[in-house]
Homo-oligomer: A and B are copies of this chain.
Amino acid sequence: MGSSRNLTLYVDLLSQPCRAVTIFCSGMIDDDDDDDEDARVNEIEAVVQIVSFVKKETREPLFLAINPLGQVPAIDDGGFTLSESHTIMRYLAATRKVADHWYPEDLEKRACVDRMLDWHFGNLHRDVAQFLVHRELAPLLGRTKNPTLAAEAEDSLKQSLKTMETVWLKDSPFLAGGSQPSIADISSACELQQLKLLDKEEPGALLAPYEKVKAWMVAVEEFTAPYFMDAHCVLEKVAQIFEDRRKCEAEAEVETAPKL
């Protein structure tokens, strides 16, 4: 289905759900490929508005009129406003010209995508957030790191990765089955990509034992290239800052260590 409405997308690429929506709509970043029949990304016409939560722009009255909760991502589709990344992707898949595999019309296939979106919310999303906060980010958020909570989240995350390896990706290259990705793949891949904040070289040493998960991450990135990495450029910079800080702290420790 097409739409002649004017769409505005409000995002901050520091946020995982914003990156997912941005990648899904990637045509709006580069719509020079209109005539390219091989283009595998969607080409959703939209104005992209960056709303920084660090600069508290999400709390400004103009944005609160779009989303009273003061959270990104949000959209304004010709006056109809909406929030929640999974909801936005479902809605855009239904109202724009988007390849069927992202959110299939077939009710069973669609249910398999819905299941993965809900599973993501109740597992990966919860665990990655808790793990990152209590392993690394807490001081930046004015909170205290809690090693017990970091360990609990790590255990739960390992269980989820095992589920991906042995159930969801057991016989399929993508989470909801089929040979092409769905919006659930974008959402979950963006979630795990955040583990780079802990390990710059790959998205988390945590992923090392999970061969199918790693292959799936590469497949999602390749399918949505170059938009997946484009949307993660801000995360890459933050990951580099963390890496540099860890090196500085390690060097400082060596310098202050008592000499034998």
Contact = CB atoms under 8 A, between A and B. Distances in A.
A167 B121 contact: no
B126 A114 contact: no
Interface stretch (A27-35, A80-88, A188-196): A80-88
B94 A114 contact: no
A97 interface: no
Give the number of copies in the complex. 2
A69 B126 contact: no
A233 interface: no
A115 B69 contact: no
Interface in A81-102: 82-87, 90-91, 94-95
Contact of A121 (B90, B108, B122, B163): B122
Contact of A118 (B68, B86, B108, B167): B86
Interface string A192-229: 00000000000000000000000000000000000000
User: Which are the 4 A-B pairs with shortest beta-carbon distances?
Assistant: A84-B118, A87-B114, A91-B111, A121-B121
Interface of A: 68-69, 80, 82-87, 90-91, 94-95, 107-108, 110-112, 114-115, 117-119, 121-122, 125-126, 149, 163, 167
